[in-house]
Amino acid sequence: MDDIKAIVERQREFFHTGATLDVKWRIAQLKRLRAAVKAHAGEMQEALAKDLGRSAVEAYLCDVLPIVFEIDETIRGLRRWARPECHYSGLACFPSMVTKVYKMPYGVTLIISPFNFPMLLTLGVLTASLAGGNTAVIKASSKSSASTAMLKRFIADLFPPEYVTLVDGGHDVADECLAQRFDKIFYTGSPAVGKHVLAEAAKHLTPVALELGGETGNWCVVRKDADLKDAARKIAFFKLCNAGQICININQVAVAEEVAEPFLKELEAAFTQQIGEKPVENNDYPWLITESAYDKCAALAEDYRDRIVYGGVGDRNTRRYAPTIIYPVSADEPIVQHELFNPLLPIVPYKDAEVEQMMDTIARREHPLAMYLFTRDLRWAKRTMQRQQYGGGCINEVCVHLMVKGVPFNGTGHSGMGAYHGEWGFREFTHPSTVLIGSNRFNLSLREHPYSGKVGERKLKILKLISN
């Protein structure tokens, strides 16, 4: 506790020197970060292989490349984002007609990152924090120990501890961090822990951003007019990615029963084509993060053994569990009432004519972080996306909304609060301060006493005139 308290105090002292306020200085730090990520990409890939069994290609595609893109976007836009806004004050403020809005850093920030994308969800959030002019204490996951160890060396070599520091350890260390007074907290993880983070932050009235998976998971809806081969190919790719351990991954698929059988055949074929007949023996296929995660996945599969139509096998020694299709599953069954975070994929049939009832069922549950629709009826899909509540999503695609520049990544309710990526990340890690620039000439006595008598009557007439 004393060590973490000392780290926070040193960072607060450094922040108060004003060194982080200079935008040129911030850009220089981001350029150093980008160069270091490129130089140490191989070490990142090795660490991800040790923790999650990720292949070099998947590690670069899903962790390293998005970090580089995020930093590039931030470097390009930071001067514009940080520029003070100039506003017309309005007649009510006459003669002080100029108001500025300054984008001010919060100060000392705490970033709590998860195990599933330990590089991206640490350094991507760090990019936003540094762009905002803050210092940062990072609490990385103890589950992804190789990645945390690599990041600890990486950060220590790159930045002084009074600017950026990474601490490792379990939940006890996280709680020690939360006991300190930070100026901003950014947490990525589960809704249950998100509630704990909010409760601890409330003790200091610290603003918090949360990126959560969603209590009841992310839905994918496949209508009867969808391109089934295309939908199956994309869904299979996404479910294989990181063995389903992705906050925006598909938790369950609702498919029109009129096309359920052909869809299942396409989905099985897509899995086989992409990962082979024996995915558990494929070294490109990631494993589950811990033995307990594997055991939880295997036990849940056993509960639905009689409805497994594909997969359903695993190897506890390697912690690999095959992508597993479970069909049919009712929308009210336990397996679709919580986030899975594994390669199990329940398939929920519904009548296409009753798709609105299906969407209503989804809407009445906790808000997901992502939603995916597959249909040729784009008018219906766009209207539906504007009526549901969720973080983000795709129509006839999966996950790549995460890669779009200039747009926010966010959740709502049980899937989080706040937003980041690019300018949205800069906004998340700064607060707008409104400053009116006063004038000492042509000041009127309109706002001053007296408010009664003929003078008061004249003032009231003028105020009413202004309001028209």
Which residues are identified as catalytic? 211, 247
Q: What pairs with residue 103 in β-bridges?
A: 432
Coil, strand or helix: which one is 159?
A: coil
DSSP 8-state assignment for residue 289 = S
d(CA 83, CA 78): 8
Distances (CA, A) of 218 to 147, 414, 416: 27, 11, 13
Core vs surface per residue 200-233: b (16+ CB within 10 A) or e: bbeeeebbbbbbbbbbbbbbbbbbbebebeebbb
By the 8 A CB rule, do 211 and 188 touch?
Answer: yes
464 sits in which H/E element: helix 453-467
Any alpha helices (H) in 241-305, and if so which ranges?
260-275, 291-303
DSSP 8-state assignment for residue 101 = E
DSSP 8-state assignment for residue 57 = H
- In 3-state terms the chain splits into helix, strand, coil percentages (rounded to 5) of 50, 20, 30
Coil, strand or helix: which one is 452?
A: coil
Of 349, 276, 262, the C-alpha closest to 311 is 276
Amino acid at 413: G
- Tokens coding 383: 């209207």
Amino acid at 313: V
d(CA 274, CA 236): 8
**How many CB atoms neighbour CB 28 within 10 A?**
12
φ and ψ at residue 10, rounded to 5 degrees: -65, -40
d(CA 162, CA 155): 12
Burial of 406 (0-12, 13-18, 19+ CB in 10 A): exposed
314 sits in which H/E element: strand 314-315
